[in-house]
Structure 1
Amino acid sequence: YHELTSSQHEAAMYSGGIPDDVIFDEEEVEELLLDGANILAIRVHNASTNSSDLTGNFFLSAGLTSAQSQYQNIPAWFSPPVVLPHASFKLATGETIIISDTNEVISDSIAIPEGLTPNLSRGRTPDGMGNWCFFNTPTPNGTNNQSNCYSSITPAPMIDLPSGWYASSNPVSITTAKNATSHYTTNGDEPDQNDPVVNGNIYVSQTSVLSVKSFGNSGQALPSPTIDRTYIIDEDNYNLPVISIITDEDHLWDWNTGIYVMGPNAGSNYPYFGSNFWEPWSKKSRMEYFDRYQNKQFEAVFDLEIHGGWSRAEAQKSFRIDAKSIYTGDVEYPLIERKPEITSYNNFNLRNGGQHGIFDRIQDGAISRLADGTHIDRMGYQACLVYLNGAYWGLYGIREKFDEHYVESNHGVDKDEVQLLNRDGALMGDESHFTESYNIITNLSPSSSNFMEVFGSRFDLKNYIDYFVFETYIQNRDWLGIAWQLNNVKLWRQDSLDSKWRYMLYDTDFGFGLYGGNIYENYINLARNPANPNQHSEIFDHVLDNTEFRCQFVNRYNDLINTTFQANNVNAIIDELKTELAPAIPEHIANWSNLMGPYSYSFWINSVNNIKNYNGSRIFTAREHLNLSLSLQGQKLVELAASPANSGHIKVNSIFPALPWDGIYHGGCPITTQAIPSFGYLFSHWTSDDMNYQNAQDATIQVALSNNTTLTAHFQPCEEVISTNIFEVGNQLHPQVSEEVNIYDYEWRLNGALVSRDSVLYNPVDGDYTLTVRFDSCEISSEAFGISRDNYEMLLFPNPAVDVLRVQFVLGEQEPLELALFNTLGELVWKESHSDFMGQFNSTIDVSTLA
């Protein structure tokens, strides 16, 4: 509501016209209205500084009934929306719908047939008593008597040549059902009876789509579904997935209704607000998807929209794929290879590279991948090729859409329980919790003892820190109101008492210096005090005044600079994407270079390298900005090592670097280090050239950084510190460990064979015993302990036994075992058998019911 409209609108009623209407259904009203007073505001502004007049006349009609209030009659031109009966279930092919009366007596029933596509229905005519018919115009809550009655749906034509890649021209044979005629198109249009008739083979000599539909000759059958095939002739997919979009030509190119053209209301200046491609129009379309190995994986019917911000004005536009349930439903396929666990998509975007579409085309996808392993919500990225009605349309990125379905797929939260906000307010649920959080946090003193507890109860702090680190490090100008209005901010939480807000990283094209940005701009300061302040910037500014949070933010910032943002890591991700796209770039350039770029292969390579170069320079200024913005005590070099080599690891704050290692941190915020021994070692102590910690024997310490620091964690082999022995007490063998440790595993072996994992061995037989114990990262074994007896002992207790009887003994060799209990009359009352047994037998027998 703070934005200008995208097109002008001439008043209608003054000239006798009918005003436009906007209808909100019940669910939308429930989402929009809050408890208490609600204000509906409508804002009108001039189309330009040269506009001659400004008028507005608005009417609100709500479906209210009241015996106490009288409402005026509605105008003649107002047609209230019709509320239709709605069932809370769906029907699939082969299922049966049954109509019964209140006594459950069946009045009628019918099975759902093949081919009953959206906008077709079944019913009887005359109403309720005639034959079952197919209707091509559903009449819910209305009579069927005026509808055309069709007896069947024409079977779909069969096309012998599958969709796919072919080296040269191929004949296509189409089989049509008896008493039907097939018509076809090659421009994406769904065929009608005015299109060419299938009469013999159709020859496909160039990349194209073929759409075929059959029509019954009798006039009593509805047309078949449209069958589409995509034929790619003598072209390569460059080891990338391919999406073939098929839609009526008018859906794209009609001057008044096509979504891809400027249309009659386009502005004259970039990005041509008012153009058709700025309208939220969607068009029914079809799709075929092929994996990188050229195998067709699925086809779908969906709604096609133009997607994006200013990049809509580019020649190659982004698309939104909306897989609605009224068509073929969700796409059931793992579209993004790096997210194989996500196998169902309600929608997704095909992105043209955004503002980087004319340069490298990969920055936003690369930054999303860079965020892998952090606590940030980020969109998956998968490079692909797109064909539009058979025409090569170039490189795209398959991207997840940040909505309730993303949250459900990635976090397991029911989509109906998601609260989702963007810059304008609530997209799902409401924003009252966020507004409440904003008020509570910004009105609480940062020095309050419970500040972090309150802040952490409202926001996921790990996510919050990583998100603001990423956005400020990459210097995203199109974010948080820094260069213009608040933009590219989304966050979500589950609608429950203890759920916390999480930020979502997307549209990072204006990072890393695009269009004039430079490494010297301090984005921590800009995010705290942007040109257009907002609730998000004010919270960020406020929480950084809390000492504990400030140091958490500083240390995590440095952790990420020392690992994620290091040149070797960033360059590896960029090079991986470059290698994947490079074979496809020449053809993409040949298709688009005259219209939008990249302009040449070398231009693209330079654009890709610019990302790497910018990041390499950004590391230094990011550390400087951190120091200046948060009044720290300068950069300190921290060197870490383990002694002896490979004896252990060191966790510093949130990262586990390979040793030996060095990184930069800041004085004024102590770092936390934890010594983690490798298997076979125990931690001993720390040494440092600057003794700036409390206890050298603690595995986890906090280190204040007043100078550059070299910190070494010392470890010792387990057997040099701890030993174990076996000692005998009565008819039992027990472990003896030289130090008090938390043993989690015992292994008793008799003559080398495992006989027990219990802590105590009962009634041992003759032989040599060894014991191995495991604790922490250690495994130590005893010397052999010999047993030599003249008789064999079995332990039975208690005696007498009333409820349970314990039986304990050891067998030193593999042999059959049978145990039996007899009562005083010599009757068998219990038996247990084992065909092959060796080791310690330790059993509890319930004798409470035995007699």
Structure 2
Amino acid sequence: MHNATGNSSDMTGNFFLSAGIASTTYNYQGLPQWIIPPMVLPHADFKLSRGETVIISDTSENIIDSAYISSAIKNTISRGRTPDGVGAWCLFNSPTPNASNNQSTCYTGVVPAPQINLASGWYSAANPVTVVTAQNATSHYTTNGDVPDQLDNVVNGTIYINESSVLSVRSFDNNGTALPSPTVDRTYIINENSHDLPVVSIITDEDHLWNWYTGIYVMGPNASTSYPYFGSNFWQPWSRKSRMEFFDGTQTKQFEAEFDLEIHGGWSRAEPQKSFRVDAKSIYTGEIKHTLIKRKPHITSYNNFNLRNGGQHGLSDRLQDAIMSRLAQGTEIDRMGYQPCIVYLNGSYWGLYGIREKLDEHYVESNHGVPSDEVQLINRDGSLVGSPAHFSESYDIIMNTSTSSDNFLEVFSSRFDIYNYIDYFVFQTYIQNRDWLGIDWGLNNVKLWRQDTLDATWRYMMYDTDFAFGLYGGNIYQNYIDRARNPTSPNDHSELFDHVLENDDFMCRFTNRYNDLINTTFQTANFNATTDELKAELAPAIPDHISNWSSQMGPYSFTSWSNAVNSIKSYNASRISTARQHINQSFSLYGQRDIDLDAYPEDAGVIKLNSIIPELPWEGVYHGGCPITAKATPNFGYVFSHWTSNNGNYQNEEEDSIQVLMNINTELTANFDSCSAVIDVDIVADGNLLRSEISEEVSGVFYNWSLDGTNISEDSVLYNPTNGNYTLTVRFDSCEIATEIFTVARESYSLLLFPNPAIDQLHVQFILGEQNDINLSIYSTSGQKVWQNNRTDFIGQFNEIIDISTLARGAYILRVETPTKDYTERFIRI
């Protein structure tokens, strides 16, 4: 493979291994033995779950055989008959598909799990533990994480737990006719503090971790002698079945689980304290049903998660990636949640970790509601889930669309979520992430997803920001906008970024959003508050972590840790000014411009500036050459009036949304008026009804009528009002205005019936100002009651239609009776 031209930068390739016959004259007469012929394997198109019954019946639905799937049956256990098909039901410790059961040991059941009297948890001193074992069984135990076998210690009396450890107990049938019980684990923490953090107790066989040839935590026989020791066991994609107990911040056990344990991370694998990946599989106990990350309480089920050691910052602050993720919470970036915790490994304190989401199809389902089987997910190497074809097609379409075309942004937005795209590239370039986009070495830490539907767009995911903010030689003066456009290792992502920035509209949207985030998210007050919040969560637990690890790796003291966290804040404080300079340099803008925003009167309204709504009065910095957008929104009780500014570069001062050219330092004030000062609302009598009259044209009006202080109707008009004092309150937009009292004083009162004469329906209207039971009746002229309806505790405007289609043609009287008054009105049915 080679560059096709001097301008070609795409060195990706798809490689295939093929085998064939060199001779053009020879053909196989039949399939060779090394080719597997097409075949159909018999199988059922359903699954069985514990607690269900499988039934075999004939064509007449007569039951031939059946079997109940007990909850005691694990995924490694099968059930069948021996001798084949005719003997008693048995359990087998390994399945025998397509083979006879006759050679398998028939087990009659599973030994009940042993009962341990002392619950997992924290204790201040050594504790005796007793175990209750089922009859005709013997329990064996370990304290090193191993699943007990019959060669391990026999439970014979009391077990004493003198230090933090795990106790694993399993019972075995004395006669060998039943399968061993499940392993029961207990975690005992003696004289140690969890510092109000969740605790993850990982329990796994010692060989899974420390065996020189198969252990996932050790270097092993094939390790390189130089850092990061490629070839080590911990670089292998190995997983080992393990168990877990999880405790919340109150030291209360929340769940236990079986899972696959892997080593996680990049070069941080080479550190003494390594990251873990927890993969909860259906072949074990299935998904973990618990809220692991407090800031994402809506996620209550996890297919997997990572226990991160802090990455390349594990030796210093341990927090940088968590800080960046927390800051990105207010953006459109997909990022991992973070929850600090303490890990115990086979009962040994293993230090501070961060519970982090894994950015995969299950993350998308949990955070966006997209079914995991509808997700397309790609990274630097290609497809992780689904097909990468849409991304490749998107690249070709956008790169072949002129950035000066009127529909360029429309084309781009049809392929990429533009809000996510801008936020992602603003964030990564501001924090100067070296280990990303091929900046200083090959393409790395790039991942994006879309739903596999026609109109879905790509969204980028941010992770692994350890190499940001000057780690290993970076500095605030490096222009990462330019470096991302032309990195050391160009790639599709950098080429798209460079291309889209050639469009002036996109460039200004990017510039304004960049300034929005500098003016808010990255401002020192906000940045420091977020950092200090995360720091405070870890601070009480840091001394224990240092005591455990400082002989092998940093941080080496509480002071050095605290200084490392503070250095992140210091770097950000210095980065703000150079980031603004780089915006100006990269896009040849007209320099930085200050803007002062305010509202008059105070607290009368808010201003949305581009994408942010700052607390007024407010100061910020933008750039000349890109107009900013300001939109005024009144608070309750006010309406927008006009803008005032020293900068006249906007079109209409009375429009609530304007664009302002930032050619000078700008002061901009949104002026508001109280609703009652500019809008009049009156009650008007119009024939036999009351209605409102509003001095300004408004929409979306809500009405509330009251009679003598009692709310009676939310209709726009009142029909046939009774005598009394009326007020009307109207609500629209941010206004609520009440009228003066309007008094109705009539000499007489009558019901309003229409149409009259009526054919099939009679509209009845009247008002009751006091809550009463009412009885509505219709009488013929001979005095016979022909219709009746009752209402209890009625008040307000009665405005309903009565069906009179069953009445004979003629004259009738409608009567409304209350405990204090009667009203009647004559009508004719034709």
Q: Work out whether 1:387 is the aligned partner of 2:362.
A: no
- Identity of aligned pairs, percent? 66
Which is further off, 775-784 or 314-323?
775-784
Q: Work out whether 1:265 is the aligned partner of 2:222.
A: yes
Q: Distance in 2 between matches of 1:267 and 1:827?
A: 107
- Residue in 1 that maps onto 2:694: 737
Q: Work out whether 1:679 is the aligned partner of 2:636.
A: yes
**1:743–1:773 Cα contact (<8 Å) kept:** no
Q: Distance in 2 between matches of 1:503 and 1:761?
A: 57
Cα RMSD after superposing both structures: 1.9
1:439 to 379, 396, 400: 396
What letter corresponds to residue 747 of structure 1 in structure 2?
N
The verdict on how the C-alpha distance between 1:116 and 1:615 changes in structure 2, with shifts beyond 3 A counting, is same
Matches within 5 A, 1:230-629: 230-629=187-586
The verdict on how the C-alpha distance between 1:143 and 1:84 changes in structure 2, with shifts beyond 3 A counting, is farther
Which is further off, 290-299 or 564-573?
564-573
**2:31–2:37 Cα contact (<8 Å) kept:** no
Q: Distance in 2 between matches of 1:663 and 1:87?
A: 66
Cα deviation for residue 801 of structure 1 reads 2.7
Q: Distance in 2 between matches of 1:589 and 1:60?
A: 61
1:399-434 deviations in Å (ceiling 9; x for gaps): 000111010111111110000001100000010000
- Residue in 1 that maps onto 2:816: none
Cα deviation for residue 846 of structure 1 reads 3.6
- Residue in 1 that maps onto 2:16: 41
**1:206–1:232 Cα contact (<8 Å) kept:** yes
- Residue in 1 that maps onto 2:823: none
Q: Distance in 2 between matches of 1:246 and 1:86?
A: 36
State TM-score, norm by structure 1.
Answer: 0.91
- Residue in 2 that maps onto 1:181: 138
The verdict on how the C-alpha distance between 1:824 and 1:192 changes in structure 2, with shifts beyond 3 A counting, is farther
Q: Distance in 1 between matches of 2:310 and 2:803?
A: 72
What letter corresponds to residue 32 of structure 2 in structure 1?
N
**2:417–2:457 Cα contact (<8 Å) kept:** yes
Cα deviation for residue 102 of structure 1 reads 4.9
**2:707–2:724 Cα contact (<8 Å) kept:** yes
The verdict on how the C-alpha distance between 1:128 and 1:670 changes in structure 2, with shifts beyond 3 A counting, is same
- Residue in 2 that maps onto 1:220: 177
The verdict on how the C-alpha distance between 1:334 and 1:85 changes in structure 2, with shifts beyond 3 A counting, is farther
1:459-503 deviations in Å (ceiling 9; x for gaps): 000000000011001000000000110000000000000000000
What letter corresponds to residue 617 of structure 2 in structure 1?
P
Q: Distance in 2 between matches of 1:180 and 1:83?
A: 44
Q: Distance in 1 between matches of 2:222 and 2:161?
A: 39
Cα deviation for residue 606 of structure 1 reads 0.7
Q: Work out whether 1:801 is the aligned partner of 2:776.
A: no
1:152 to 109, 130, 138: 109
Q: Distance in 2 between matches of 1:376 and 1:316?
A: 29
Cα deviation for residue 82 of structure 1 reads 9.9
**2:218–2:233 Cα contact (<8 Å) kept:** yes
- Residue in 2 that maps onto 1:74: 33
Q: Distance in 2 between matches of 1:60 and 1:326?
A: 39
**1:689–1:709 Cα contact (<8 Å) kept:** yes
State TM-score, norm by structure 2.
Answer: 0.93
SS for the counterpart of 1:516 is: coil
- Residue in 2 that maps onto 1:98: 55
Q: Distance in 1 between matches of 2:283 and 2:782?
A: 78
- Residue in 2 that maps onto 1:32: none
Cα deviation for residue 113 of structure 1 reads 1.4
What letter corresponds to residue 203 of structure 2 in structure 1?
I
The verdict on how the C-alpha distance between 1:737 and 1:599 changes in structure 2, with shifts beyond 3 A counting, is same
- Residue in 2 that maps onto 1:692: 649
Q: Distance in 2 between matches of 1:71 and 1:543?
A: 57
SS for the counterpart of 1:815 is: strand
The verdict on how the C-alpha distance between 1:69 and 1:294 changes in structure 2, with shifts beyond 3 A counting, is same
What letter corresponds to residue 363 of structure 1 in structure 2?
Q
What letter corresponds to residue 231 of structure 1 in structure 2?
Y
What letter corresponds to residue 74 of structure 1 in structure 2?
Q
- Residue in 2 that maps onto 1:33: none
**1:636–1:664 Cα contact (<8 Å) kept:** yes
The verdict on how the C-alpha distance between 1:376 and 1:87 changes in structure 2, with shifts beyond 3 A counting, is farther
Q: Distance in 1 between matches of 2:652 and 2:387?
A: 50
**1:85–1:141 Cα contact (<8 Å) kept:** no
Cα deviation for residue 243 of structure 1 reads 0.3
SS for the counterpart of 2:676 is: helix
What letter corresponds to residue 785 of structure 1 in structure 2?
F
**1:330–1:344 Cα contact (<8 Å) kept:** yes
SS for the counterpart of 2:472 is: helix
Q: Distance in 2 between matches of 1:505 and 1:177?
A: 52
What letter corresponds to residue 308 of structure 1 in structure 2?
G
1:777 to 726, 734, 749: 734
Q: Distance in 2 between matches of 1:473 and 1:39?
A: 34
- The aligned length equals 793
SS for the counterpart of 1:515 is: coil
Cα deviation for residue 105 of structure 1 reads 3.7
**1:820–1:832 Cα contact (<8 Å) kept:** yes
SS for the counterpart of 2:414 is: helix
What letter corresponds to residue 258 of structure 1 in structure 2?
G
Gaps of 5+ in 2: 3-12, 22-26, 809-830
Cα deviation for residue 94 of structure 1 reads 2.1
SS for the counterpart of 2:422 is: helix
The verdict on how the C-alpha distance between 1:803 and 1:543 changes in structure 2, with shifts beyond 3 A counting, is farther
Q: Distance in 2 between matches of 1:180 and 1:226?
A: 14
The verdict on how the C-alpha distance between 1:788 and 1:609 changes in structure 2, with shifts beyond 3 A counting, is same
Q: Distance in 1 between matches of 2:580 and 2:786?
A: 80
Q: Distance in 1 between matches of 2:435 and 2:723?
A: 79
Gaps of 5+ in 1: 3-37, 43-57, 62-67
Q: Distance in 2 between matches of 1:799 and 1:135?
A: 87
Cα deviation for residue 89 of structure 1 reads 4.0
Cα deviation for residue 69 of structure 1 reads 8.1
- Residue in 2 that maps onto 1:7: none
Cα deviation for residue 830 of structure 1 reads 4.3
Q: Distance in 1 between matches of 2:447 and 2:281?
A: 23
SS for the counterpart of 1:440 is: helix
Cα deviation for residue 803 of structure 1 reads 3.8
- Residue in 1 that maps onto 2:680: 723
Which is further off, 615-624 or 89-98?
89-98
The verdict on how the C-alpha distance between 1:616 and 1:829 changes in structure 2, with shifts beyond 3 A counting, is farther
- Residue in 2 that maps onto 1:16: none
**1:92–1:112 Cα contact (<8 Å) kept:** yes
Q: Distance in 2 between matches of 1:60 and 1:777?
A: 77
Q: Distance in 1 between matches of 2:39 and 2:542?
A: 52
**1:166–1:232 Cα contact (<8 Å) kept:** yes
Cα deviation for residue 646 of structure 1 reads 1.0
- Residue in 1 that maps onto 2:626: 669
- Residue in 1 that maps onto 2:777: 820
